[in-house]
Amino acid sequence: MDLQVIKNRFGIIGNSPALNHALNVAIQVASTDLTVLINGESGVGKEVFSQIIHSLSARKHNPFIAVNCGAIPEGTIDSELFGHEKGSFTGAVDARKGYFETVNGGTIFLDEIGEMPLGTQARLLRVLETGEFIRVGSSKVQKTDVRVIAATNKELLEYTHNNKFREDLYYRLNTVPIRVPALRDRKEDIPLLFRKFAVDFAERYKTTPVQLEDDAKNLLISYPFPGNVRELKNIAEQISVLSTNKIITAKDLSPFLPERSFNRLPVLANPNAASVSSSEFANEREILYKLFFDMKRDVTELKKLFLDVVQHGGGSVQMPGHLFNETIVQEHKPIEMSQPVITSAPSQPMIISNNNNDIQDHVEVEESLNIMDNEKELIIKALKKHKSKRRDAALDLGISERTLYRKLKEYDLEEL
């Protein structure tokens, strides 16, 4: 069947190569009874592909049902899919047919298959391999002839490695895989889809459809659309309702695009970690990342400082106070990161004198730049200022009392 005819029939907008390839695979596999696994992010339209496959198959005159496996509680999903006998569990006042029995001869679409419990997966595998199932609370084996189309927004192969999904079921479902591209991977289709949604809205409510200027189109294309086609439709309808202008510029469009921050750095912590050691390791990495970023910032500031001195001559230069940070990582103990040890510039400025025009040959540093020396000196001053009251000294230094005790021992200052 012609690809454009299929698009018109099911309201599919777009001409990207990835979308066309997915549609061609669906058309080719429709005439068979092979199991199909549709992969794609949430909101890309996976259910439409299942409808295409069913409508072009020999089963098109038989029932089609879509089941969201993630929306059915674990305790009742077996009953929903395979049925149950009267009295098989609390509340089972009557016998009930399951979907695999009522859709016999047709097609069942199992959306979010990755959310299916492991016990139900074993029952599904038997249906796929032998066409047999047993109602909950029964011992009678029944036969069914149902074509299964599954869909997921998860990486099921990774789930099999983590024992969250049966490996044998994965390969049984993945007979013919179809990957539906995300909207950000078919950017050329975004303006077409927006225009379709805007026109549909205008026809429904008898208004003039909004139109995008070129700068607005570019802004829309650059947006990553984590919600895919569903999110684009929402944005088009919001603009149609709330915008006072029918010609939309980038300035008009920007308030309707959520500000999202996509962190591409390694994951620093696992909120579901079960062991203390893994949590401590994650926190340690987080501290190290912060330390590296602070060091990079300090190096940049020092480069600017010396460049300014070289270009404009001598003068007094104060070291940035936040240069001196400390990070404490103790094995098998809570990890503590103190506030900056030095919160202000050293009492004596670092002097760089320029005696001749050739400044590179006449640079004198009159003060020690050793971090430990400065830190030790400040600790001594703080203790003298507060008359050896360590709690007050630690507060003045901006560190914890525990950290101060460790520093006193490190610098052999415990007698102060």
95 vs 397, more confident? 95
3-181 matches 184-256 in fold: no
Contact 405, 393 (CB under 8 A): no
109-118 pLDDT, tens per residue? 999 999 999 9
| CA distances to 24, 28, 91 from 79, in Å | 36, 34, 12
Beta bridge partners of 179: 39
pLDDT at 322 exceeding the cut of 60: no
What is the pLDDT, as a whole number, of residue 173? Answer: 95
Side-chain-facing half-sphere of 230: CA atoms under 13 Å: 9
Instruction: Find, among 154, 144, 152, the residue nearest to 124 by Cα.
Output: 144
CATH number for the segment(s) 3-181: 3.40.50.300
Average pLDDT over residues 180-188: 95
pLDDT at 272 exceeding the cut of 80: no
81 three-class SS: helix
Where do the domains of the chain lie? 3-181, 184-256, 276-410
Structure tokens at 240: 């149609």
For residues 280 and 40, give the distance between their C-alpha atoms in angstroms, rounded to a whole number.
Answer: 35
For residues 25 and 50, give the distance between their C-alpha atoms in angstroms, rounded to a whole number.
Answer: 12
259 pLDDT band (50/70/90 cuts)? confident
- Sign for the CA dihedral angle at 202, 208, 210, 211 comes to positive
What is the pLDDT, as a whole number, of residue 295? Answer: 74
For residues 339 and 25, give the distance between their C-alpha atoms in angstroms, rounded to a whole number.
Answer: 59
23-82 pLDDT, tens per residue? 999 999 999 999 999 999 999 999 999 999 999 999 999 999 999 999 999 889 999 999
For residues 328 and 207, give the distance between their C-alpha atoms in angstroms, rounded to a whole number.
Answer: 64
394 vs 262, more confident? 394
What is the pLDDT, as a whole number, of residue 287? Answer: 63
For residues 212 and 220, give the distance between their C-alpha atoms in angstroms, rounded to a whole number.
Answer: 9
What's 165's DSSP letter? Answer: S
Residue burial 349-387, b: 16+ Cβ < 10 Å; e: rest: ebebebeeeebeeeeeeeeeeeeeebbbebbeebbeebe
266 vs 55, more confident? 55
pLDDT at 215 exceeding the cut of 60: yes
| CA distances to 9, 43, 48, 64, 368 from 52, in Å | 9, 17, 6, 11, 76
Instruction: Find, among 73, 76, 51, the residue nearest to 151 by Cα.
Output: 51
Contact 64, 51 (CB under 8 A): yes
Average pLDDT over residues 212-221: 94
What is the pLDDT, as a whole number, of residue 164? Answer: 92
pLDDT at 264 exceeding the cut of 70: no
Question: Mean pLDDT for the chain?
Answer: 81
Radius of gyration of the chain (CA): 33
Tell me whether residue 181 is exposed, middle or buried, using C-beta atoms within 10 angstroms of its C-beta: 0 to 12, 13 to 18, 19 or more: buried
Contact 352, 364 (CB under 8 A): yes
Is domain 184-256 classified as CATH 3.40.50.150? no
List the single range of 206-210, 254-258, 259-263 with lowest mean pLDDT: 259-263
Structure tokens at 121: 């997966």
